[in-house]
Amino acid sequence: MANYYIDGSTLQNSTAVYQDSGLTQCAPAAFYSDGLITREQVFAGSNCSLLPAQVCPSCATPCGGSISGSGGQGVYRLDIDLGGTATDTGAVILTFNPQSVPDGVSVTYDGTVYNKLSSPQFGLLQSSTVGTETYVGATGSQGGCNGGNPGNIEGTYSLSVFDYNGSSFTNTGTTETVIITAAQNALTAGAPNGCIMVIPKPNATPTVMNIRAIGPCGSTVWSLGAVCPTPLPSMLAGIGNFDTVCTSLLNTTVYHVPVNGQANLNVQVNDYIFTDINGATPASNSWYLHPTGYKYEVQDGIVITVSNTCDTITVSDCKGGGNYTFNDRFNTNTTGEVVQYKRVNLVNQTVGTTIYCGTITGTGQGTSANAQQEGFIDRACDDTTHCP
pLDDT in tens, 48-100: 999 887 666 667 899 999 999 888 899 999 999 999 999 999 999 999 999 99
Provide DSSP, 183-239: GGB--BSS---SEEEEEEE-SS---EEEEEEEEEEEEEEEEEEEEEEEPPPEEEEEE
The confidence score (pLDDT) of residue 31 equals 77
Neighbours of 175 (CB within 10 A): 13
pLDDT of residue 53: 76
81 contact partners, CB below 8 Å, separation of at least 6: 57, 60, 61, 62, 63, 207, 208
Q: What is the mean pLDDT of residues 347-360?
A: 97
For residues 139-147, give the mean pLDDT. 77
The model's confidence at residue 10, banded by pLDDT at 50, 70 and 90, is confident
CA dist 350 and 370 (Å) reads: 11
For the segment 166-180, what is each residue's pLDDT rounded down to a tens digit? 889 999 888 999 999
Digit-coded pLDDT (tens) for 244-274: 999 999 999 999 999 988 778 999 999 999 9
Return the pLDDT at 55. Answer: 64
Which domains are assigned to the chain?
A: 5-55 (no CATH), 60-229 (2.60.120), 232-307 (no CATH), 311-373 (no CATH)
Confidence of residue 29 (pLDDT cuts 50, 70, 90): confident
Pick from 106, 159, 95: which is nearest to 134 by CA?
106
Question: Per-residue pLDDT averaged across 212-234, rounded?
Answer: 94
pLDDT-based confidence at 184, cuts 50/70/90? very high
Name the residue type at position 201.
K
Q: What's the confidence (pLDDT) of residue 50?
A: 93
DSSP 283-321: PPSEEEE-TTS-EEEEETTEEEEEE---EEEEEEETTS-
Least confident of 161-165, 328-332, 338-342: 161-165
Q: Residue 117 and residue 338: Cα distance in Å, rounded? A: 48
| Percent residues over pLDDT 90 in the chain | 80
Please give the Cα distance from 236 to 86 (Å, whole number): 27
